Amino acid sequence: MSASPITIMESSHLGYLKPYEIFVDSSHGDIYSNAWRGQKARTPQDDFEGPLRDGSPVDLFSAAHAGLLVSAGVLGMVTTLLTVLAAPGPGHAGLVNLGFYARVLFALTSDSVPFLGYKRKSYMLLGWASMAVAFFVLSIVARDGDAYAAAVVLASLSAALVQTASDGLMVEYAQREPIEARGRTQITLLALNWFGASLSSLLLACLTDDASGDVTWALDKASVLRIVAVICILPVPALLFFITESRLAPSLEFRRRRYMFGRLLQNKAIWQVALFQAGAGCCLALSSVANGYSPLLWFRTIYPWIVRLVFFVLFAYALAYVQRRGLSWHWQRSFLSAASANMLLHVLQHASVVDDATNWGAVTLVWVSSVPTAIQYVLRHLPMVEVAPYGFEATTLSLLSTSAEIVHPLMMALHQHYAGPDGRWSTLTFYIALGLNVVGCLSVWFLPKQRSDCILLRHFGGLSKLAAWLLFTALVLHQVAAAVLQWPGSSLSRL
């Protein structure tokens, strides 16, 4: 791949002549994939040797960026509570997932159109303000009314808007890290998100006074919804005063953006990682879940929210360990080892379940599974940052995250329709789930071995229009079918 520089002298508003270089990509014969640059253009060699974009690494705990940490933690807490607190009536079960279906649209908007001068910050503020209003409305209207359904939709869309804008900002920060340390920013935000989820599980455990785990609130439900509305306001001052984002953004050129989006889908790095995401969704640990990456308990137990709370805490600690020790691991071997360990743990769990109300052996196996599940979770997210091109950060994460959800409704349907009265799967259904888990293990063939392989695919993997159309068609059909049929799964906790 070669690029021919052309130097152009442009007059500034002060009367000086400022040189600009436009790099024409001669291997493709077009100029739409190039941008005006006031400095020397980056080359693929720069990506192999250092950060993926210019700028110094970001300290998330500094005053200039701490607002993103607050937003990530509160989002994990609120989205976990949303599916329980604001569950609509039987005829509107799919409303809570509408935000998931609009993710790619929100991501394209955040990447392309600045709002009030910012590409990320303003959208996050708008999302949090709308979510606070939605929860307040939920606390004062009747559950069976149209206003309640509209508030659920508003909360779902607001959460998706916050998540997509946060993803874009996270990618921008993570790509500024050197290649040997890249992933620390990403894992830190993931851990904060699940710390918030663990707090929400603790809240549910404390306010649920029914030993069977049914959500019988010790407080009035309207009061709890108002408390959540107040919590949604907390990230607003944090984002206003403790996050710094550049106001420089290119002007929107629809034709160029449409062309580049098509090139994004054609890139082998995107559709290969998307195939891995879809196949990895067959794994038991990553698909048979109820709220986020908490376990879908196949047995009855007292206080299931406490069981999930311990799982969340162990999950967050495992993420911290991977951040410190696992950034240089071989991705394919690590994912295959974690998937195999999880499959063995689920087999032992299924074999150890008896008809007793409490089975601490099975509960212990659930807690142990949090470690390999966290490893699989991290390895599904690390390639997303590596293959995200400049200008499509949030879009890339939304496309790949949506690909990861394609098989999830099938796993949820298996549990809901074929589980026995005691919550256990039948033998045939469990064998089907194990077979799907083998498919998930085989998907490791599409997972790059390390960051350098992702960069190699991104720059030299080539383009395929057929793969782009297949990927686009599969994602559209999945979204339409999930929305019309109101499939289970794809909950906001998995945004």
Neighbours of 131 (CB within 10 A): 29
Condensed to tens digits (0 to 9), the pLDDT of residues 274-326 reads 999 988 888 765 544 433 455 555 556 666 667 777 887 788 788 889 998 88
| Secondary structure letter of residue 288 according to DSSP | S
Distance of CA 220 to the CA centre of its chain: 32
CA–CA separation, 316 vs 322, rounded Å? 10
Burial of 309 (0-12, 13-18, 19+ CB in 10 A): buried
The label of the residue with tokens 């921008």 reads 172
pLDDT of residue 273: 95
The class that CATH gives domain 260-489 is mainly alpha
Q: Which amino acid is at 147?
A: A
- Pairing of the two strands 3-11 and 17-25: antiparallel
- Assess contact for 83 and 201: CB atoms under 8 A: no
DSSP 416-462: HHHB-TTSPBPHHHHHHHHHHHHHHHHGGGGS-SSHHHHHHHHHHS-
pLDDT of residue 350: 74
Distance of CA 135 to the CA centre of its chain: 22
* CA torsion angle 353 356 361 367 (round to 10): 90
Distance of CA 461 to the CA centre of its chain: 25
Name the strand (E) or helix (H) holding 3: strand 3-11
* Domain spans of the chain, in order of start: 66-244, 260-489
Burial of 226 (0-12, 13-18, 19+ CB in 10 A): middle
Residue 24, classed as helix, strand or coil, is: strand
Closest CA to 167 of 197, 193, 131: 193
Would the CATH topology of 66-244 be identical to that of 260-489?
A: yes
What are the two backbone dihedrals, phi and then psi, of residue 357, each rounded to the nearest 5 degrees? -65, -35
pLDDT of residue 290: 36
pLDDT of residue 288: 40
The label of the residue with tokens 């190039």 reads 34
CB-hemisphere CA count at 13 Å for 39?
Answer: 4
- Average pLDDT per run of 10 along the chain, which is 495 residues long? 48 47 45 43 74 88 91 89 70 73 91 90 96 93 84 92 94 92 91 81 61 55 87 94 82 84 94 92 57 53 70 82 90 93 83 62 82 88 92 93 78 60 64 82 92 91 92 87 65 39
Q: Which two tokens stand for residue 3?
A: 């690029």
Does the 66-244 domain belong in CATH 1.20.1250.20? yes
- Assess contact for 173 and 193: CB atoms under 8 A: no
CA–CA separation, 462 vs 455, rounded Å? 12
- Assess contact for 271 and 468: CB atoms under 8 A: yes
CA–CA separation, 466 vs 445, rounded Å? 20
Distance of CA 25 to the CA centre of its chain: 33
Q: Which two tokens stand for residue 176?
A: 């500024």
Q: Rounded to the nearest 5 degrees, what angle is found at the Cα of 441, between the Cα atoms of 437 and 444?
A: 150
Q: Which two tokens stand for residue 163?
A: 């998540």
Residue 156, classed as helix, strand or coil, is: helix
Q: Which amino acid is at 404?
A: A
CA–CA separation, 210 vs 488, rounded Å? 25
| Secondary structure letter of residue 40 according to DSSP | P
CA–CA separation, 224 vs 215, rounded Å? 12
3-state secondary structure 193-253: HHHHHHHHHHHHHHHECCCCCCCCECCCHHHHHHHHHHHHHCHHHHHHHCCCCCCCCCCCC
Condensed to tens digits (0 to 9), the pLDDT of residues 6-59 reads 545 444 444 444 454 444 444 444 444 444 444 456 677 777 778 888 888 899
CA–CA separation, 263 vs 281, rounded Å? 26
User: Per DSSP, which regions of 16-159 are E strands?
Assistant: 17-25
CA–CA separation, 204 vs 216, rounded Å? 10
What predicted TM-score, i.e. pTM, was given to this entire model?
Answer: 0.83
